[in-house]
């Protein structure tokens, strides 16, 4: 319950975020270092995210499966860069069934290794390819500083792992998934993400190419919201994933992996939330509309509830995800604040005068106060609410896109770059060297986010060193 | 692919089971002791199970959430019976992030403890009750002997955890869930389960009452297929889950927990499977019908495929889960065997003569060979296939029920009981003492399965000791 006033974004953005997560009952701190509990309201949002993505994966020929949570430590050592990347973050099981284990097991931080091992058993011929498997579950990477949804030791995600006969097919898969991620982010979560390729410094441990979608939060920091990797034959060689091609010759597979995690809930909160609390995009909101009946006495109550129940049935039948707030122990004002905190897109208010006039008041969450309130007839209310949900969905995307575009700068020189990344993103030519990337990071704490796939023609000079540069990159401070 | 002949049930039931799981590509052994990989076909079946149960839970007011995979060891020590029951089965994380942990963490074998801890934070007043949370995921209990789906260290399940104000409400919840389990088993999985209360010896570690659904496999052994527990205030006291009642007095909650695991896939295989392979109940089958086009040359192929594609579209539009097997590298006979191995309920065969005559052949999986084959017109085929799926679903239940009833005996004395439990179940009066239960187990390896909720009136004599007995119980060898 939202009794105390929320810290505002301008007062303390980080504290505002923490309070929303707790007050909207999205998640809670667990009594295990670095871990969170995802509460029912947060999990209902995650279920809608899962369902939207799962549908797209299945429509593109992917299937789900489940691999063990525990992975033998030796598996990690088979791919050099992979083990270097993950070794410091591992949780290690040393005892099982009352005895010390001969070989320690790791709680999976990601599953390329064990899935690669199984693929080497399953793949014999080109007819077995491609394998397109997705695993939904949680993974664990040791964290000392917890930030709910954004940085926790255990987090929830899917991990796609695919094996292909050729490089072209594997690259095509990597980009197909990146497109699915972009479509999901833009059309379901109303997040105006930018897709591109990560620099070598920022890519996944063991990948040849990492691509990502990146999103700007309201504090102008970037949040990497999904990644899709191409491994070449790195993992195929480490785990001996080979197939007989049509000429009966043994070939190594080409593999990919990709993921969106529960972090994206953090992106949704920090992109759309306001000083009243959470603002959820209608397509993913667990509750799309809440009905608040308003009355002062029993006579009014019976009249109002009759109408409210009828409207509830009508909206429900229209497929709107709906809640009736008929609590008797709190005021209407309390209810308004409570559902605003939880980010429910539309509030339907019904009082005695509405019953008489055959109308209701609709309040849209993305525009709090009078500006977002309208009075509409009860007739055809389901169509009106459905239409409003569509309108809110696109208004959220438009607002976030405008905000993003207003805060991406193209600095004329390095001095200006150092300024703009303090409170925005820089989009600049970069020579591609690790040295220039490191210098920006040292001078400003900003890192390269990604190199967008669509690049301007021609070349120019690196904003850092002045050498020739063929590509533009986003520099920003990131979560 | 099902090249080699399946061992028959009468030759070696256990080996028959193992082969089906592997040949039908339901699951595979993992390179981690005691663990399995659930392959896409097995996982698709599990997803249908999850979806059917999740719908019922949500319809009865339950919500999903997620709690950490790792639990502090000290949590287990707060409930004495619970830790005694689970200590020998724990996998223990001793190192995290490169350092030895101050307190070891346990990979959850079940989550009463950590969920109880969170409930104590969340519950303040009677208005916060009941809490009705379900967690879908996996748990780990160390196993040395692996049997895919039936006995693995890691397995998949849901665990429901509820907290209530009164004992009556908690008991009502336990029985409500048991009814949901029974309905699911009978109506979705075609498993004729028996619901009842477990003996004190067989109940869950820490529970006051454990109830279960029990199912007879084709080797006449029993398989516990779901459990629902009442804890009284045991866990509420261990974790301090208290609420202020309407008189503003602090009270301990009453709690329940309950689960169905991926074991139920083992029950489905061993109840319905035959010597050709898996037989899946249509309501849960990932593929309900497979279309096999039959042709000898390109001219026939183009004619047959035109009809096959049209029928595919029609059946798909009718909501039938469908597969077109248009592989060119294997024979029709191979395809028939392959889909029989995978238990697909209906096969639609279309050859050149069918195209001419406007008919197709339908083969039902539950009756292999000519007996289960019929020739039907292409007109209204979707209705015919849908009707056949319903018929197969009820035929499977009827067959399993008849088998079960034919193998439940009511022995007249203890000597006969010792005989019948070698190849069936005994349903007998029992005085309720641990001594008699232990004697049966020692003499026969049979254990008490459950005490059915509906009991005959009156009392009789215990089949073991001859003392007064007020209840009948099932004795059987069990998985």
**pLDDT value at residue A4:** 74
Place of tokens 């529960």: A262
Interface of B with A in 138-197 (CB under 8 A): 138, 140, 142-144, 153-154, 156
What is the domain extent for residue B113? Answer: 13-272
Distance CA A111, CA A161 (A): 8
Lookup: tokens for A275: 């000083």
Q: Give contacts of B33 with chain A, Cβ < 8 Å.
A: 96
Are A91 and B105 a contacting pair at CB < 8 A?
Answer: yes
What's residue A3's pLDDT? 59
Give CA–CA dist B97/A59, Å, rounded: 39
Could you tell me which of A346, A372, A217, A279 has the C-alpha nearest to residue A6?
A279
For every residue of A398-414, which 3-state class applies, written as one string?
Answer: HHHHHHHHHCEECCCCH
A468–B contact, CB cutoff 8 A: no
Task: Flag whether pLDDT at B395 surpasses 70.
Answer: yes
DSSP B232-299: ETHHHHHHT-EEE-TTS-EEE-EEEEEEEETHHHHHHHHHH-BTTB----TTT-S-SEEEEE--SSHH
DSSP labels, A99-157: EEEEEEEEE-S--HHHHHHHHHHH--BGGG--EEEEEEEEEE---SS-BTTTB-SEEEE
Q: Are both A267 and A296 inside the same structural domain?
A: no
The 3-state DSSP class for residue B26 equals: coil
In this complex, is the C-beta atom of B134 within 8 Å of any C-beta atom belonging to chain A? no
Alpha-carbon dihedral sign for residues A386, A390, A391, A395: positive
B76 vs A313, residue with greater confidence: A313
**Taking all residues of chain B, what is their mean pLDDT, rounded to a whole number?**
96
pLDDT of residue B2: 45
- The DSSP call for residue B66 is B
Report pLDDT for B475. 98
A56 and A133, same domain (yes or no): yes
- Whether the bond between A251 and the residue before it is cis, its omega within 30 degrees of 0, is no
User: Are B184 and B109 in the same domain?
Assistant: yes
Residues B119 and B207 both lie in one domain: yes
Which among A334, A361, A392 is the end of a domain? A392
Interface contact B6, partner A, CB < 8 A? no
Q: Clarify whether residues B111 and B246 are in a common domain.
A: yes
- The pLDDT-based confidence of B374 (bands split at 50, 70, 90) is very high
Examine residue B1 and state whether it is found in any structural domain, yes or no.
Answer: no
Q: A181 near A134, Cβ under 8 Å? A: no
In-domain check, residue B463 = yes
User: Exposure pattern of B305-334 as b/e (b: 16+ CB <10 Å)?
Assistant: bebbeebbebbeeeebbbbbbeeeeeeeee
pLDDT for the residue numbered B337: 96
| CA separation for the pair B374, B379 (Å, rounded) | 15
First-residue to last-residue Cα distance in chain B: 28
A413 and A377 inside one domain:
no
From the list A40, A93, A133, which residue is nearest B133 (CB)? A40
Same domain, A258 and A300: no
**Same domain for A293 and A268:** no
SS3 state of residue B478: strand
Looking at the 3D structure of chain B, how many domains does it have?
Answer: 3
Give CA–CA dist B119/B163, Å, rounded: 8
Residue B3: band (very low, low, confident or very high) from pLDDT cuts 50, 70, 90: low
Residue B211: name the closest of B196, B189, B192, B233 by CA.
Answer: B196
Does B324 reside within a domain?
A: yes
pLDDT of residue A2: 45
pLDDT along chain A (479 residues), means of 10: 79 98 98 95 98 98 98 90 87 94 96 97 97 98 92 97 98 98 98 97 93 98 98 96 97 98 98 98 98 96 97 98 96 96 98 97 95 96 98 98 98 97 97 97 98 88 96 97
- What CA–CA distance (Å, rounded) separates B425 from B446? 9
CATH of the domain at A230: 3.30.930.10
Give a yes or no: residue B160 inside a domain. Answer: yes
A328 and A384 share one domain: yes
> Domain with B413 in it: what CATH number?
3.30.110.30
Mutation for A interface: B1, B45, B92, B119, most A CBs within 10 A: B92
Alpha carbon distance A241, A250 (integer Å): 10
Residue A55 and residue A190 in one domain: yes
Rounded to 10°, the helix B40-59/B263-272 angle is: 110
Kindly state whether B70 is in contact with chain A, defined as any CB-CB distance less than 8 angstroms: yes
Q: Which of A272, A298, A325 is the last residue of a domain?
A: A272
Q: From chain A, pick out residues whose CB is under 8 angstroms from the CB of B43.
A: 63-66
Give the model confidence (pLDDT) of B293-309 as tens digits: 999 999 999 999 999 99
DSSP state of B191: -
Q: Is B279 part of any domain?
A: no
* DSSP collapsed to 3 states, B70-108: EEEHHHHCCCHHHHHHHHHHCEEEEEECCEEEEEEEEEC
Domain termination site, one of B384, B404, B424: B404
In a domain, B6, yes or no: no
With an 8 Å Cβ cutoff, are A70 and B133 in contact? no
pLDDT at B108 over 60: yes
- Tell whether B64 is covered by a domain: yes
Residues A257 and A310 occupy one common structural domain: no
Residue A36 sits at the chain B interface (C-beta within 8 Å)? yes
Same domain, A124 and A248: yes
- Whole-angstrom distance, CA of residue A359 vs CA of residue A369: 19
Assess if residue A281 is contained within a domain.
no
CATH code, B340: 3.40.50.800
Q: Is residue B326 classed as helix, strand or coil in its secondary structure?
A: coil
- List CB contacts (< 8 A) between B98 and chain A: 87-88, 90, 142
- Asked if the Cβ–Cβ distance from B66 to A38 is below 8 Å, we say yes
């Amino acid at each position: 319950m939202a009794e105390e006033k929320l810290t505002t974004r301008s007062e303390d953005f980080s504290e505002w975020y923490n309070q929303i997560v707790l007050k909207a009952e999205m998640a809670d701190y667990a009594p295990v270092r670095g871990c969170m509990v995802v509460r029912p309201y947060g999990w209902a949002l995650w279920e809608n995210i899962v369902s939207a993505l799962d549908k797209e994966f299945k429509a593109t020929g992917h299937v789900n499966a489940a691999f063990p949570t525990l992975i033998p430590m030796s598996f990690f050592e088979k791919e050099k860069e992979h083990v270097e990347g993950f070794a410091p973050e591992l949780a290690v099981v040393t005892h099982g069934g009352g005895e010390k284990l001969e070989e320690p097991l790791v709680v999976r931080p990601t599953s390329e290794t064990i899935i690669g091992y199984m693929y080497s058993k399953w793949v014999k011929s080109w007819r077995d390819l491609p394998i397109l498997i997705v695993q939904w579950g949680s993974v664990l990477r040791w964290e000392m500083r917890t930030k709910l949804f954004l940085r926790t030791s255990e987090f929830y995600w899917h991990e796609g792992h695919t094996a292909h006969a050729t490089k072209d097919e594997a690259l095509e898969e990597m980009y197909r998934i990146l497109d699915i991620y972009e479509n999901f982010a833009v059309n379901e979560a109303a997040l105006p993400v930018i897709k591109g390729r990560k620099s070598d410094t920022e890519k996944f441990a063991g990948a040849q190419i990492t691509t990502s979608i990146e999103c700007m939060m309201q504090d102008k920091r970037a949040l990497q919201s999904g990644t899709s990797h191409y491994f070449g034959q790195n993992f195929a060689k480490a785990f001996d994933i080979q197939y007989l091609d049509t000429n009966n010759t043994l070939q190594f597979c080409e593999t990919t992996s990709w993921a969106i995690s529960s972090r994206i809930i953090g992106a949704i909160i920090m992109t759309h939330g306001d000083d009243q609390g959470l603002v959820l995009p209608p397509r993913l909101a667990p509750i799309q509309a809440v009905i608040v009946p308003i009355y002062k006495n029993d006579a009014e109550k019976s009249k109002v509830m009759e109408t409210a129940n009828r409207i509830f049935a009508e909206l429900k039948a229209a497929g709107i995800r709906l809640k009736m707030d008929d609590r008797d122990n709190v005021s209407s004002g309390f209810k308004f604040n409570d559902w605003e905190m939880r980010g429910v897109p539309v509030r339907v208010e019904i009082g005695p005068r509405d019953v008489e006039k055959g109308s209701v008041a609709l309040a849209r969450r993305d525009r709090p106060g009078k500006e977002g309130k309208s009075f509409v007839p009860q007739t055809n209310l389901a169509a009106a609410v459905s239409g409003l949900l569509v309108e809110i969905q696109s208004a959220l995307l438009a607002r976030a896109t405008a905000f993003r575009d207003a805060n991406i700068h193209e600095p004329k020189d390095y001095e200006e770059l150092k300024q703009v990344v303090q409170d925005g993103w820089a989009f600049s030519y970069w020579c591609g060297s690790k040295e220039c990337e490191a210098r920006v990071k040292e001078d400003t704490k900003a890192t390269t986010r990604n190199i967008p796939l669509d690049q301007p023609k021609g070349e120019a000079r690196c904003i850092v060193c002045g050498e020739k540069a063929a590509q533009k990159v986003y520099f920003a401070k990131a979560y």
